[in-house]
Amino acid sequence: MTRDARADVAFVSAAKDISANSSDESIEKTPLSQQQTKNEPKSVVNDERSAISRTLNLQTTVGAFLETIEVQVAIVLLIAFDVCCTALEIYLRDQHEMIRLHVLMETAATSKPNSTASSVPIATPSMALQVATRLMEPFTGFTVVFFLIELLVLIGAFQKQFFSHFGYVLDLGVVIGALVYEIYTQSKALRLLGVLRIWRVFRVKVYQLQLEKQAAEDSLKREIDSRGGLEKLLQGYKDEVETLKEALNIAAEAVAEVSISATNYHQYEDEDAPLPEDQSQGTGGEAVDPYSDYYDQQHYDAAGYESYYADPNAEAYSEPLDGEESRDAEAVVGPHLATTEAEKLTQDDEFEDAVEH
């Protein structure tokens, strides 16, 4: 059965690929036709090619039609019906012959001198049996002719490939043998070998399994393609998310760099900016820290002393810091700045003593 299944697959593929073979055969035959018809016009060569292609296309169409599962199922049913009808016809014919033999025996018995005609009933074949036998004969004759035509068409469609198929060769042998035996012996007993043609049932099953397998493969292929598309779409989304993350990180880094640069720029600008002479030097001529808020207060206080003694009614005067406030300032601004401020207080006291004297 494995060999038959492989042969069936080969025949199905041959029915589909015969068009390609036809084109190859036309290509192989073209040089010979051109050699034989060198002086003929091109239209004649084209007509020959078209005729060959039409013939091959017809063979392809007929072979593919006979290989369809519907036709194969119909042929299997016809084979089964033919075998059943043949067996029934043989049985009815045997019954008819037995009845005839019984009638002859009864006739012979009644023809004896000591016997009476009414002593033994004469059996005759029934009318229903005769009608059934007559109806079976043309149907079985039609089936054998149909099977022969089918095989001849398959030979014309597949040509040499037909004889490489064991099942078709078996069918051809059974059909031809039954037909010849029936012609010479007037008996249909050999047609009971049609049960051997039941291999077509397995062929139909194999073909059905092939169709289901092909459908499953197509469905799997579509599912794989769909899954591949979804995976590509998902990968695109992932890439887009990664790109957005990178863009956000770059933007955050850029914002941080801008903030740090702005802070460093302001610090650098404050450190490197030149100060005016009245702010870079104290009242005693010594350098002071220009970034101290406390220095600004003391500078304002020193200016207040000068404006007070120049004009006691001036509003720019402010009280100088005492020792406790100086200690508080030292705790806030640091010992260096506090020392500088203490020196300025000493200078202010000396300036006050000089004014009093």
Position with higher pLDDT, 332 vs 243: 243
**% residues pLDDT > 90 (the chain):** 1
Contacts of 290 (CB under 8 A, 6+ apart): 275, 279, 280
Position with higher pLDDT, 124 vs 239: 239
Query: In this predicted structure, which of 7-11, 86-90, 101-105, 177-181 has the lowest mean pLDDT?
Result: 7-11
Dig out the tokens for 263 from the structure.
């802070």
pTM for this entry: 0.47
Question: Which of these, 56, 59, 35, lies nearest to 45 by C-alpha position?
Answer: 35
Q: Is the per-residue pLDDT at 193 higher than 50?
A: yes
Q: Is the per-residue pLDDT at 236 higher than 80?
A: yes
Average of per-residue pLDDT values in the chain = 68
Position with higher pLDDT, 319 vs 80: 80
Query: In this predicted structure, which of 48-57, 210-219, 295-304 has the lowest mean pLDDT?
Result: 295-304
Q: Is the per-residue pLDDT at 42 higher than 80?
A: no
Compute and round to an integer the Cα radius of gyration of the chain. Answer: 61
**pLDDT at position 38, please?**
46
**% residues pLDDT > 70 (the chain):** 51
Phi and psi for 325 in degrees, rounded to 5?
Answer: -65, -35
Torsion, Cα of 244, 250, 251, 257 (10° steps): 170
Q: Is the per-residue pLDDT at 190 higher than 60?
A: yes
